[in-house]
A = this chain, B = another copy of it.
Amino acid sequence: MYDERVPRLWNATIDEHRRTVHAAILDTTAALVAEQGLAGVTMSQIAARAGIGRATLYKYFPDVEAIVVAWHERQVGEHLAQLTQAASADAEPGERLRTVLSTLAELTGGRHQPGTAPVGHGPDLAVPLHRAEHLHHARHQLHALLTGVVRAAAEAGTVRTDVSAAELAAFCLHALGAAADLPATRAARGRLVDVTLAALRPA
C-alpha cells in the first residue's frame, strides 16, 4: 500500500499512528460496552467517541464483535505477561505460588473500573468471546505456567505431592474463578487465596 521509496522514518511514524488509533478504538469500545452493554454499541458510536471517521474505523475492524475480541486478546496478553512476571519473581517457591495465585485472583475479581473488568464478564460478551481461538490458547499457557510454579513449590516441600502439579494447577485456576462471585475487595480475595493454598498444603 505504501510507496516503497518513502523514507523508513515516515513508515515508522505511520505504524505508530496506526497502533495509537488501534489502541484508542479498543479502549473506546471497552468503555462503551462497560457503560451500556454490547448490544447497544454501534460502529458509529465508537467512531464518534474515538474521534475518527466511520470509514477509517472500518479500515481497522469489520464490526463491533471483532473489536471486542481484539480488546479481549490484548487484555489476556497483558494478564499473561503480569502472571509470567509474578511467576519469575526472585522469591522462594511457596511465596512465588502465593504471589501468582493472588495476581490471578485480582485479575479475575478485582478492578471494576469502567472499561476493564466488566468487559469479558458480562453475559453479552459470551457470544463473540467463546469463539475466540486465543482464549483456548491462553488457557493452555496459563495452565502450563501455573503447573510450573506448583511443581517448584511441591519440590520445595510446600505443596502436597500426592496429586500431580498439573491437576493442582487446574484446581487452582477453577477455584480462583470464585473471585468473580465474591465482593471485589482485597480482603475477600485474600481469603480465597488462603483457602486455595490450604488445599495444596502437604497432609
Contact = CB atoms under 8 A, between A and B. Distances in A.
A9 to B, nearest CB: 45
A174 B167 contact: no
Given A198-B199, A199-B195, A199-B198, A170 B163 contact: no
A192 interface: yes
Could you tell me the dominant secondary structure of chain A's interface residues?
A: helix
Contacts of A126: 126-127, 130
A192 B200 CA distance: 11
A181 interface: yes
B198 A171 contact: no
B170 A182 contact: yes
Contact of A199 (B177, B188, B196): B196
Nearest to A127: B127
Interface in A155-186: 160, 162-163, 167-168, 170-171, 173-178, 181-182
Count identical subunits in the complex.
2
Interface of A: 123, 126-127, 130-131, 160, 162-163, 167-168, 170-171, 173-178, 181-182, 188, 191-192, 194-196, 198-201, 203
Nearest to A130: B126
A149 to B, nearest CB: 16
Contacts of A196: 171, 175, 199
A181 B191 contact: no
Nearest to A162: B191
